[in-house]
Amino acid sequence: MLELLRYFGLPTVSASTQGPAIDHIIALIHWLMLILFVGWGVFFIYTLIRFRESNNPKADHEGVKSHFSSYLEVAVAVFEVVLLIGFAFPIWASRVNDIPKGPEAVQIRVVAQQFAWNIHYPGSDGVFGKTSIDLVDEVENPIGLDRSDEFAKDDVFTVNQLHIPVNTAINISLSSKDVIHSFTLPELRVKQDAVPGMEIPVWFEATMTTEEFLQTTDGSAREGMGFEIACAQLCGLGHYRMKGFLTIHDDEGYAAWHEEQQEYLAEEEDDDWGDDEDW
């Protein structure tokens, strides 16, 4: 079934630890759907042919006397109970309860806005600096980071560029500055609405680097295009282009990227960013 669904659209790559479980439950439900539909369909077509007026001019007042259909209904109910208890509840419980909090997990804030994803990394101290809406400056400081805060000194933020290490638990704290967006990583089967006024945790663990992923795209229409962040919730006239990029590094690559960001930060500081002279 999974093969069939992949043929009909489901991305072949399921690049997170929870991805395969989600694909599995999608496949199971599609089994149920397929069996019911084919069963109904065969019965439907057969009866239409057999009981057409020209073939069966006199209808039978009673019709079907057996109660086979009750078994069908019970079977559907049982299948659904199994789906719920065996698959749906555990997947959901893991999604909302197993949030990695410790130092081994990478903590990132994502602040959505019309029409961009602001990514906020805590820097080497692992603590997010203070932010304040009064400091928001759409060009220089979209998340309103307060650089005077001691934890903020080494914080890094990017726009539309999410970088994460592979095989490491990622804990994103998701929020929005303005309207509701929906943070989506289709190839990782991750999706979560970003609701203003709420900080919602989203966690996942990627199982494939961007480099590995790109090899799978060879020959397809998306050849050479890596992972994306999509916005799934209508958020205004630029909703369709609210796209971000996700880069999954191996550990060295991630460390190197971090290093690089810290260097940029140092340069910016020397440059006395935000100073009047800049204008």
Partner 1 sequence: MYTVHHKESFWAKYIFSTDHKIIGLQYGITSLVWLLFGFTLMMIMRYQLAYPESPVPFIGGLLGDGGILPSEMYNSLGVMHGTIMIFLGVVPLAFGAFGNYFLPLQIGAIDMAFPKLNASSYWMYFVGSVIMVIGFFVPGGAANSGWTSYPPLANIATMGQTVWLFGMVMLITSSLLGSINILVTVIQLRTDGMTWLKLPIFVWGQFITAFLLILAFPPLEAAGVLQLMDRLAGTSFFMPSGLVVSGEVMTNAGGGSPLLWQHLFWFLAHPEVYVLILPAFGIVTEVMANNIRKPIWGYKALVYSMIFLGFMSFIVWAHHMYLTGMGTTIGAFFQTTTMIISIPSVVILTALLISLWGGSIRFNTPMLFALGFLPMFGIGGLTGLPLGLAASDIHLHDTYYVIGHFHYVVAPGTIFALFAGIYYWFPKMTGKRTNETLGKLHFFFSFIFMNGVFMPMFVQGLAGVSRRLWDGGEVYAHAADYLYLNEVMSVSAWLLGLAQIFFIVNMIISLKGEKTGEVNPWNATTLDWTDTTSPPLGHGNFEKIPVVHRGPYEYSVPGSKVDFIPQSEKG
Residues 39-58, interacting with partner 1 (CB under 8 A): 40-41, 43-44, 47-48, 51-53, 56-58
Among 99, 105, 127, 136, binds partner 1 (CB under 8 A): 136
Between 166 and 188, whose beta carbon lies closer to partner 1?
Answer: 188
Q: Does 236 bind partner 1 (CB under 8 A)?
A: yes
Question: Which range binds partner 1 by CB under 8 A, 122-130, 135-143, 158-166, 249-257?
Answer: 135-143
197 binds, among partner 1, Cu ion, none (CB under 5 to 8 A by kind): partner 1
Residues 196-225, interacting with partner 1 (CB under 8 A): 196-198, 200, 220-222, 225
Residue 22: half-sphere exposure toward Cβ, Cα within 13 Å: 21
Phi (first) and psi of residue 120, to 5 degrees? -120, 120
Q: Does 101 bind partner 1 (CB under 8 A)?
A: no
CB neighbours (10 Å) of residue 26? 14
Helix (H) or strand (E) holding 78: helix 68-82
Binding site for Cu ion (CB under 5 A): 181, 231, 235, 242
Report, in Å, the least distance between residue 267 CB and partner 1: 25
Report, in Å, the least distance between residue 119 CB and Cu ion: 15
Among 99, 144, 153, 216, binds partner 1 (CB under 8 A): 144
Between 123 and 181, whose beta carbon lies closer to partner 1?
Answer: 181
How many Å apart are CA 13 and CA 27, to the nearest integer?
15
Tokens of 94: 């893991």
169 binds, among partner 1, Cu ion, none (CB under 5 to 8 A by kind): none
Report, in Å, the least distance between residue 261 CB and partner 1: 24
How many Å apart are CA 194 and CA 207, to the nearest integer?
24
Between 147 and 191, whose beta carbon lies closer to partner 1?
Answer: 191
Tokens of 13: 């790559």
Residues 239-268, interacting with partner 1 (CB under 8 A): 239-241, 243
Residue 143 makes CB contacts below 8 A (sequence gap 6+) with 109, 111, 118, 120, 131, 136, 157
How many Å apart are CA 81 and CA 157, to the nearest integer?
45
How many Å apart are CA 96 and CA 53, to the nearest integer?
57
Q: Is 203 exposed, middle or buried (0-12, 13-18, 19+ CB in 10 A)?
A: buried
Report, in Å, the least distance between residue 109 CB and partner 1: 15
Among 235, 248, 254, 261, binds partner 1 (CB under 8 A): 235
Question: Which range binds partner 1 by CB under 8 A, 146-154, 163-171, 185-193, 247-255?
Answer: 185-193
DSSP string, 188-202: GTEEEEE-TT--EEE
Tokens of 103: 């130092």
